[in-house]
Chain A
Amino acid sequence: MNIIFRLILTCWLLLMSSALLATPLRLGITSATARGQYALLEEWRDYLQRKLDKPVEFIFRESYLESLDLLKQNELDFAWVSSPAYFENSRQMNLLVTPLYKGQPFDHSYLIVPSSDHVSQSLLDLKNKVFAYVDPDSSTGYLQPRYQLLQQHQNAERFFKKTFFTRDHQKIVAAVAIGMADAGAMSGFAWDSLARSRPDITNQTRIVTRSAPYGFPPLIARNSLSKRDFNDMQRVLIEMNQDPDGIKLLQRLNLDGFIVADSKLYQGVYKMMRRIGDL
């Protein structure tokens, strides 16, 4: 009797400690992907924890670059980054999932100006203006307009009077609305999401052009991550749109779900990067 009791106690203690000491899965989030929805992200983290039966940590960083550095140093297991950020380090990373927006794994780049600007019809009309970018690693908020200028044989470094980075797509709207920037480039997904929650802000801006579709910023994992953790995370994310709690979270994230990421989705970005010379 005594021996059985001791055995049970030992097993229980072992189980408890394994649960307690389980290394958490760490997901890097940047300002551009967080979009200020920290409470929602917290709920998403709880959801993932529940589904994975493992502790999950979200690690927030200002720029894609910082997230990538952490990933390379094995300080992160996953990161939600821009596609250029992935390509710059594709050897050390694996694509995990791509979010679905309006049922498609694509995002667009919007060129926006203040609503008071009725004149500008294209990027070329914005010569010698103050221009706002999102992040040097953003496809929609940096790469796309520069690529477009290059195609028009313009030097992106001298075309604008002044440029600056806001690190956050939605802050591009603010910068343009208050007149700090004369124009800005940003994710169409971010603009649409903001238009849904704060139309009063987006109404102060006007979309001049919408770009061709680009692969939606993917979630990536470090190479060294165990196959099991990689698969678990991929499975949980993909199955989110089959679960009532997951669907609710996706709705609030303004996404339709996740699919297995395919590098073909990002060929457009890859081409732009090659053309500009970033790769």
Chain B
Amino acid sequence: MKFFLNLSYRHKIPLWGCFLIIISVIAVSASFIGNAYTHVEKDLSIDSEKLGYSLRSNLFTAILQDDIWRAFEIITEASQRESSSMVQVENILVLDNAQRVLVSTHPKETPIHTNMYDLGSEFSEISRHINQMSGDKSRTIYLPKSKHYYSLTPISRENASLGTLIIVHSKDVFFPLFAKNARNGLLVGTLILAILLPFNWYWGQRMAVPLVQLAARMAQLGKKWPEDLDPDLYEYHDELGLLFEAYNQLLDDLKSKEVLEMQILQSERLAALGQLAAGIAHEINNPLSGMLMAIDTLKCHSETSPLTQKTIALIERGLTQIKDTVAALLVEAKMKSRNLLPQDIEDVLTLISPMSGKKALHIAWHNSLTDEIALPATFIRQIMINLLMNAIKAAAQQGEISCDISVIDSKLQISVINDGKTLSAEQISHLFEPFASFSEGGHGLGLWVTYQIVNQLSGNISVKKENNNHMNFTVKIPLGEHP
């Protein structure tokens, strides 16, 4: 039992359904068959009694005239006529009122003038039944364990009785008749099974398979992200359907929570990196400025050998490179700048045109700015140039870039899309870290700088893969906070 209860619903539902259907069909068929048995007994009784009534009148006349040959011919003809019908007549006897055989269709077995008691136990029993009979109604006697059944008809007219007609039938006809009826019952049962079982199986599968898949996915939760459920798996809105909806909702919530966590983690990481970089830059910047000033002073106020001059120049270039790098890391967006004009945007297009021209790119440019907006022009231009430069680098030869600038919900939105190679999720997660270059020749600070600027302007930058596999970089910066 435990084994059965532990079975998967995939098997348990159809099995349980099958079990119930089979039990019901067996019960219905059994009642059919039981009914058939009673019917057969009843039908045979009626047929036999009908035969008795049909013979009674002629026999009455024949016996009245003591014409027993005529009586014999009447019963013999009836017996032969009925032998081909369903009621198989084995013997017909006519008894007188003293229960002696007057005539029978089988005189050798039941000779004339033999007493019923001398014809064996069954006839003795029948004799007892005849004694109990009254009126002119027929009776059918089924003796237990007997191979025959008997119908008794009084040979009477207007209350004058001349004897009794006994029709002996073989019970052999019983079984074929019963089997015929029973077969019909079984056939109907089988037909019902043939219709219901596949239907039950289908229905069981329909219920179980989604449940099983759901259970399997629930078990995976916490270990890895389960595969998506087939949306066509269960499309109804019953309790099962609600369960699926709840599962999908849960999964969506879990996923967005994880994405949020990742984003927080990333921005925290980037913020920490930013602080670290800014701190180091400041710490480096002070001695660096001193060193550069000292070298400047040395160059101007001392006589030095050519070798020294060469060395000083070498040091100066090195220090300048450090300064540049540090300056790049130390993004300072708090400096004053004028507001952004639509013309600034167009300038950017002019600036990048030579570069895009080299790769024969097509730039789809949508600038919907019409008025001045309260954002620092310098930084916005820098952001755009960085994004567009990256896009041009990433784009394929004769590829396509689209740039869309608009103000939506009091936010400046800049979208730059390129058709270059796509980035993996792993690459995207490290995209805004310094020196994380994914293209040849880049130092990997462009996006870092852009990220820092956007961050300092209280905006955000996101990267996503479009449906057509184009990479979309979108920057949103709220207006008015940086006059």
B399 within 8 A of A: no
Whether the pair B111, A179 counts as a contact (CB closer than 8 A) is yes
Q: Say if the beta carbon of B103 comes within 8 Å of chain A.
A: yes
User: Which B residues are closer than 8 A to A by beta carbons?
Assistant: 66-69, 72, 103, 107-108, 111-113
Whether B107 contacts A167 by the Cβ 8 Å rule is no
B69 close to A179 (CB less than 8 A): no
Is A171 close to B, CB under 8 A? yes
Report Cα–Cα, A130/B112, bound state, in Å: 8
B107 surroundings in chain A (CB, below 8 A): 178-180
Q: Report the Cα distance A180→B106, complex, angstroms.
A: 8
- The residue in chain A whose Cβ has the minimal distance to the Cβ of B73 is A171
In the complex, per-residue mask of A158-201: 1 if CB is within 8 Å of any chain B CB, else 0 = 00011011110001000100111000000000000000000000
Contact of B72 with A180 in the complex, beta carbons under 8 Å: yes
Which residues A121-172 have CB closer than 8 A to chain B? 130, 132, 161-162, 164-167, 171
Other than the given A164-B67, A179-B111, 13 more pairs (CB < 8 A) read: A130-B113, A132-B69, A161-B112, A161-B113, A164-B69, A165-B67, A166-B69, A167-B69, A175-B72, A179-B108, A180-B72, A180-B103, A180-B112
18 pairs of residues in contact across A and B, judged by CB atoms under 8 Å: A130-B111, A130-B112, A130-B113, A132-B69, A161-B112, A161-B113, A162-B112, A164-B66, A165-B67, A165-B69, A166-B69, A167-B69, A175-B72, A178-B107, A179-B107, A179-B108, A180-B69, A180-B107
A162 CB, min distance to chain B CBs, angstroms: 6
Chain A nearest Cβ from B199, distance in angstroms: 63
Q: Provide the bound-state CA to CA distance between A179 and B113, in Å.
A: 13
CA distance A42 to B108 in the complex (A): 37
Residue from A164, A171, A178, A179 within 8 A of B68 (CB atoms): A164
State the CA gap A213–B70 with chains docked (Å).
Answer: 30
User: Would you give the shortest CB distance from A127 to chain B, in whole angstroms?
Assistant: 14
Q: How far is the CA of A167 from the CA of B72 in the complex (A)?
A: 13
Point out the residues of chain A lying under 8 angstroms from B103, CB to CB. 180
Of all chain A residues, which has the CB nearest B76? A178
Question: Is the pair A175, B69 in contact by a Cβ cutoff of 8 Å?
Answer: yes
Cβ of B412 to closest chain A Cβ, rounded Å: 125
Residue of A161, A166, A167, A180 contacting most chain B CB atoms (<10 Å): A180
Cα A175 to Cα B67 with chains together (Å): 13
Leading 10 A-B pairs by shortest Cβ distance: A179-B108, A180-B107, A179-B107, A164-B68, A166-B69, A130-B112, A164-B69, A162-B112, A162-B113, A178-B107
Expressed in whole angstroms, the minimum distance between the Cβ of B332 and any Cβ of chain A is: 137
Q: List residues of chain B with CB within 8 A of the CB of A179.
A: 107-108, 111
Q: Which residues of A contact B67 (CB under 8 A)?
A: 164-165
CA distance A178 to B105 in the complex (A): 9
CA distance A9 to B139 in the complex (A): 73
Which residue of A is nearest B71, CB measured? A164
Q: How far is the CB of A142 from chain B (nearest CB, A)?
A: 13
List of A residues within 8 angstroms of B108 by Cβ: 178-179
Shortest CB-to-CB span from A213 to chain B, Å, is 27
Q: How far is the CA of A162 from the CA of B68 in the complex (A)?
A: 10
Residue in chain B with minimal CB distance to A168: B69
B66 partner residues in chain A, CB cutoff 8 A: 164
Which A21-69 residues have C-beta < 8 A from chain B?
A: none
Contacts of A180 in B (CB 8 A): 69, 72, 103, 107, 112
A186 to chain B, nearest CB (A): 13
How many angstroms between the C-alpha atoms of A180 and B69 in the bound complex?
9
Within the assembled complex, what's the spacing in Å between the Cα atoms of A130 and B102? 11
**A175 — which chain B residues lie within 8 A by C-beta?**
69, 72
State A242–B72 Cα separation when bound (angstroms): 43
Chain B residues within 8 Å of A165, by CB:
67, 69
Q: How far, in angstroms, from A166 to B69 measured CA to CA in the complex?
A: 6
Q: Which residues of B contact A167 (CB under 8 A)?
A: 69
CB proximity of A35 to chain B, nearest CB, Å: 16
Q: Cα distance A215–B373 when bound, in Å?
A: 157
The CA-CA distance from A160 to B391 in the complex, in Å, is 137
A60 to B66 Cα, complex, angstroms: 23
Chain B nearest CB from A163 CB (Å) reads 9
Which chain A residues (96-130) contact chain B, with CB distance < 8 Å? 130
Cα–Cα distance between A166 and B72 once the two chains are bound (Å): 10
Q: Report the bound CA distance from A147 to B68 in whole Å.
A: 24
Q: How far is the CA of A165 from the CA of B111 in the complex (A)?
A: 17
Quick one: closest B residue to A161, CB to CB?
B113
Across the interface, name the chain A residue whose C-beta is closest to B72. A180
In angstroms, how far is the closest chain A Cβ from the Cβ of B94?
Answer: 12
User: Which B residues touch A162, using CB under 8 A?
Assistant: 68, 112-113
A171 contacts across to B, CB distance below 8 A: 69
> Considering the chains assembled together, what is the distance between the CA atoms of A180 and B93 in angstroms?
12
CA gap between A165 and B108 in the complex, in Å: 19
A 200-224 binary contact with B (CB < 8 Å = 1; else 0):
0000000000000000000000000
Q: Which residue of B lies closest to A62 (CB)?
A: B70
CB distance from A189 to the nearest CB of B (A): 21
Q: Which residue of B lies closest to A116 (CB)?
A: B108
> How far apart are the CA atoms of A179 and B67 in the complex, in Å?
17
Measured CB to CB, the closest approach of chain B to A63, in angstroms, equals 11
Give, as a whole number of angstroms, the nearest-CB distance from B57 to chain A: 19
CA distance A66 to B15 in the complex (A): 83
B473 to chain A, nearest CB (A): 117
Closest to A165 in B: B69
What separation, in Å, do the CA atoms of A278 and B60 have in the docked complex? 30
B331 to chain A, nearest CB (A): 132
Residue of A nearest to B109 (CB): A179
CA A168 – CA B467 in complex, angstroms?
Answer: 112
B27 CB, nearest partner CB in chain A, Å: 52
Given the complex of chains A and B, what is the CA–CA distance between A108 and B319 in angstroms?
167
